[in-house]
Amino acid sequence: MPRYKLVIEYDGTPYCGWQSQDHAPSVQGALTDAIASFCGMRVTVNGAGRTDAGVHALQQVAHIDLVRDWDVDTVRDAINAHLRPAPIAVLAAARVADGFDARFSAIRRCYLYRIANRRPDLTLDRDRAWRAPRPLDVAAMHAAAQRLLGKHDFTTFRAAECQASSPIKTLERLDVLRVGEDEIAVHAAARSFLHHQVRSMVGSLVLVGDGKWHEGDLAAALAARDRVACGPVAPPHGLYLAAVEY
């Protein structure tokens, strides 16, 4: 069966997350239905990452197996035609080797977290960024973030319901940058992340930016290996799966 790689963009606001559930709309479920309408068969849409409810994707990656060798542009356009008006779009489709696996072949996942650092409420970016109304010290946040780089036990920044076999992960990038006057972007990259790891790190970094924590407090939270030591978890609507690298 020909295998196709799909690059997918979506607004996660109306969905329970990536993974299909029986009684709630999901991104995976919407894609499965659209593909079935296009080619007459229900296939498994295997994603590179299981984003939570309200989390968005700029470039989620998935693979599917179809019984027919379709033109890749046809695959992309036909799926999109059956997705409308859902806020999901297949940006690209490509034929890949049978051994390609969207999840297990990935060598790096890149996330973006958007913080709207402004006093006024959000309008255009509502449900697409986290509003922090007090001015944040981006330089302090970035310096503290570097204390989390490398291979560590990230239990402090791990959700209680996380199903990963080990809390040890290697964080390759955690940069905090100001974008224009009112936005802060947090870029994180690693082969894989624990459940809620990025949102937990961002919430703690905001405490640093607000002057409530210092760089040493973040390092101490990591060393504690205790969920209680974590700052507040940032809300899901500011988080984007930005890219998956192979």
- Strands 130-131 and 108-116: what pairing? parallel
Selected catalytic residue, list 11, 22, 33, 52: 52
Tell me if 178 sits within 8 A of 184, measured CB to CB: yes
Cβ burial 57-71 (10 Å sphere, 16+ → b, else e): bbbbbbbbebeeebe
Rounded Cα distance between 126 and 235, Å, is: 12
Tell me if 12 sits within 8 A of 27, measured CB to CB: yes
Rounded Cα distance between 238 and 130, Å, is: 5
Write the DSSP string, 92-154: EEEEE-TT--TTTT-SEEEEEEEEE--SSPPSTTTTTSEE--S---HHHHHHHHGGG-EEEE-
Rounded Cα distance between 51 and 149, Å, is: 22
State yes or no: is 52 an active-site residue: yes
Specify which residues 17 forms β-bridges with.
52
- Strands 168-179 and 88-96: what pairing? unpaired
Rounded Cα distance between 13 and 68, Å, is: 33
Residue type, 67: V
Catalytic site residues?
52
